[in-house]
Amino acid sequence: MHLRPEVLFFVAGFPITNTVVATIITDVIIIMIVVILSKVIAIAPGNIQNVIETVVDYFNKTAEEIAGERAVFIYPWITSFFIFILISNLVAQFPGFETIKFRPTFNDGNEVSFFRAATSDLNVTLALSVISIIVTNYLGIRYKGIKAYARRFLSFKIFPVFLFVGILEFTNEFTKIISFSFRLFGNILAGEKVLMTMYKLLPIGFPLPFMMLELMVAIVQAVVFSMLTMVFMHIMTDKSH
């Protein structure tokens, strides 16, 4: 298992990697959830609606508690991050992930895994982090105005203290991207590696506790990513900061 995703084949020159396959599975599951919910949605919720309502309502209320009226714009983003990352992480626990092998025609006959957790691909985690930071900064401009937003990074008050602080803040935005993407990437990749090692050691029963641990990691990482995004969005949009 490599750090980079393995390319399975190409479609019109676009590389279809095993993480792209996992991403598509994640998308299909999300769309299925949406379709099923749109059919069963009612004032008195059923089982599926209850679960989804709990998640959406939790993030909605948490965003409202933290960001007040700005929660209207914040909660769809953080809930989407949570749902996407959670499903991506959970999908990786499906049987066949990392175990079903594929032999690409162009890869000198070397076998590669057909499925691999989407979030164990830095392209995915980096994309999510970049979206998170760009949206956070966009919301900052929208709520505070361009001048107040720019003052965060470029200020000549108590020269050169705030200028230095501005440089730190600017660097911090990039650090956030790195920390966001590598945290998620590292946790899921490490989890997969641990599971693969356990499978190789003793395939029956032995990996079970680690699978449980991975389930927890999957949930925790999704929560961490969305909560941090929410906090950053709140800080960026709050006029007192």
Partner 1 sequence: MEFMHKFGLQPSLFLFQIINFLIMMFILKKFLFSPLKKIFNERKYKIEQSLQDIENAKIILENANKKKYDILQEAKDNSEILTATAKASIKAMKEQSIFDAKNCYEQIIDDAKQKAEAEFENMNKQLGKISVDISEKIISKVLSNLFTDDEKQILTSRALEKMHEKITN
Contact set with partner 1 (CB under 8 A): 2-5, 14-15, 17, 20, 23, 27, 30-31, 33-34, 37-38, 41-43, 45, 52-53, 56-57, 60, 75-77, 79-80, 83-84, 121-124, 126-128, 130-131
Positive/negative CA dihedral, 207, 186, 30, 60: positive
Dihedral angle at the C-alpha atoms of 189, 192, 197, 202, nearest 10 degrees?
170
Q: Please say which residue, 188 or 207, places its beta carbon nearer to partner 1.
A: 188
Q: Please say which residue, 29 or 198, places its beta carbon nearer to partner 1.
A: 29
Q: Which is nearest to 115 in space by CA: 133, 139, 99, 135?
A: 99
To partner 1, the closest distance from the beta carbon of 96 in angstroms equals: 21
CA dist 23 and 26 (Å) reads 5
Q: Please say which residue, 80 or 107, places its beta carbon nearer to partner 1.
A: 80
To partner 1, the closest distance from the beta carbon of 3 in angstroms equals: 5
Q: Cβ distance 75 to 239 under 8 Å?
A: no
To partner 1, the closest distance from the beta carbon of 171 in angstroms equals: 18
Q: Please say which residue, 131 or 224, places its beta carbon nearer to partner 1.
A: 131
Query: H helices of 71-207, where?
Result: 71-91, 122-144, 146-153, 161-201
Q: Which is nearest to 235 in space by CA: 149, 156, 163?
A: 149
CA dist 112 and 101 (Å) reads 5
To partner 1, the closest distance from the beta carbon of 122 in angstroms equals: 4
To partner 1, the closest distance from the beta carbon of 157 in angstroms equals: 36
Q: Please say which residue, 126 or 198, places its beta carbon nearer to partner 1.
A: 126
